[in-house]
Amino acid sequence: MSPESVLTRAGYVLSLADDSLIAAQRMGEWIASAPELEEDVALGNIALDLLGQARSLLSYAGQVEATALGNHDGPVRDEDDLAYLRDERDFLNVHLVERSHGPHGGDFAVTMARMLILSTYQMELYSHLRTSTDETLAAIAAKAVKEVDYHRDHANMWVLRLGDGTEDSHRRMQAGLDAEWPYHHELFDNAHIDPLLVESGAAVDPRLLREPWERRVDEVIAQATLSIPDVRPAVTGGRRGIHTEQMGYLLAEMQHLARSHPGASW
């Protein structure tokens, strides 16, 4: 395997890791702010699941990167290096996960709409990656698929509850769905993936995930008496390291302690 192909593999793994890492950071903002105490616990656990996925993927990305550079015995960028010491342009997550959850501390309907979109996508993604020819990715996916299945069920429950609830909850759930819908298209963009990775069976072409994703999400939307938003796709570039203004604020908060006290442990 050439160094170039492995570097491309590292980028693919990083994109998966960054989606989960940044989603975990956003989800964690709900702790002590959710509508009810049990939801504080649920969202905290979902954030921890996403963080665990990110840690595994970041650690693997560092190893792949070191191998690509021929650095078999030298230092490897570990999960902390990749999470806390990369600049904004080095992150490869989609815009969907980095945006705030809405004004005034966040809108719960926006969060549930986003969780529905992301968890359904990740469920399809990890289901396919369980048979990846990359044994490490396959092992990570086998564990992650069980976690995101719960995330999806949780999102489904709340979208149904809010959408088919009161007049006000229906209005707010539809507004949350409208706000997040323009950003789902980036999940299915395959431009950042080396075709050789897909041909070898290591990676999944995200375009193959769109049809089953649409089928599952459309079914939930219909059951919730909501409408599929008729909105234009957002202009995005997260997979190329081009992010929204909100990403900078998120990283400043997430990375502040590690950058202020380099090398510290606790």
pLDDT in the model for residue 4: 46
**Three-state secondary-structure class, residue 102:** coil
**CB within 8 Å of 238: residues ≥ 6 apart:** 91, 92, 93, 94, 95, 98, 186
What is the per-residue pLDDT across 72-93, written as a single tens digit (0 to 9) for each?
665 689 999 999 999 999 999 9
Q: Which residue has 């649920």 as its token pair? A: 42
User: What are the residue ranges of helices labelled H in 69-194?
Assistant: 79-84, 95-98, 108-129, 135-163, 167-180
Does 12 map to a domain?
yes
Q: Residue 265 has which token pair?
A: 């442990």
Amino acid symbol at 211: E
pLDDT in the model for residue 75: 64
Amino acid symbol at 84: Y
What is the per-residue pLDDT across 55-64, written as a single tens digit (0 to 9) for each?
999 999 999 9
Does 266 map to a domain?
no
Entry pTM: 0.94
Average pLDDT, the chain: 93
How far is Cα 225 from Cα 74, in angstroms, rounded to an integer? 57
116, HSE (Cβ side, Cα atoms, 13 Å): 31
| Residue 143: domain span | 3-260
108, HSE (Cβ side, Cα atoms, 13 Å): 18
Whether residue 239 contacts residue 192, with contact meaning beta carbons closer than 8 Å, is answered with: yes
Does 265 map to a domain?
no
How far is Cα 110 from Cα 178, in angstroms, rounded to an integer? 9
**CB within 8 Å of 45: residues ≥ 6 apart:** none
Mean pLDDT value across residues 131-137:
97
pLDDT in the model for residue 234: 96
**CB within 8 Å of 50: residues ≥ 6 apart:** 20, 21, 23, 24, 27
Mean pLDDT value across residues 218-240:
97
pLDDT in the model for residue 105: 60
Does 179 map to a domain?
yes
pLDDT in the model for residue 106: 79
How far is Cα 61 from Cα 118, in angstroms, rounded to an integer? 21
What is the separation of C-alpha 44 from the centre of its chain, rounded to a whole number of angstroms? 15
pLDDT in the model for residue 17: 98
Nearest to 192 by CA among 85, 94, 121, 124: 94
Whether residue 89 contacts residue 241, with contact meaning beta carbons closer than 8 Å, is answered with: yes
* Count: domains in the chain: 1
How far is Cα 62 from Cα 264, in angstroms, rounded to an integer? 20
Q: What is the domain-level CATH number for residue 43?
A: 1.20.1260.10
Does 95 map to a domain?
yes
227 band by pLDDT with thresholds 50, 70 and 90: very high
